[in-house]
Amino acid sequence: MNKENTDEKSKDLDLWMIRPCEMYNNEYSECTSISSRLHQMFVHGSTVDCNHWHEDYINCLKWKNDKNIQAAETLVNSEKMKRNNRWKTFYANNVWENRTSPPENWNDPLPDYIAQRRQNSTLEDELDKTENKSFCSIM
């Protein structure tokens, strides 16, 4: 495959989605570690198949080293699938109503009882100290 053809096809892909190859290898190592396996058994009742991380790592190496378009396509599709799985619960949420704009009173002052409670807090004392302190040092 010539370079021009590779460049043309790679423009159509979402290559920005491809992470550094080490990240895929780290995810695979983390997924197959003893602590992760115990966690998977506790949460799911069985271990999770981690081979997709290893396949992503191999495809990433093929893309980085050889500019293999098919490996890049597979990797981008895998990233899209992972993203869709992460967002699946968000889209399935029927409890909360999604807003298109912030509430009208989002920047109103705090109620009096919260403002009074905040006056006596240690955090407020520390904020007062740091507001008047200069952190600039000229040598």
What is the structure's pLDDT at 12? 75
Q: Which of 37, 35, 78 is nearest to 59 (CA)?
A: 78
Chunked in runs of 10, what are the mean pLDDT values of the chain (139 residues)?
Answer: 61 89 98 98 97 98 96 97 93 86 89 82 73 66
Domain ranges of the chain: 3-87
**Angle 35-37-43 (CA atoms, 0-180°, nearest 5)?**
100
> In terms of C-beta density within 10 A (0-12 exposed, 13-18 middle, 19 or more buried), how is residue 58 classed?
middle
What is the structure's pLDDT at 7? 65
What is the structure's pLDDT at 91? 86
Helix (H, G, I), strand (E, B) or coil at 102: coil
What is the structure's pLDDT at 13? 84
What is the structure's pLDDT at 114? 84
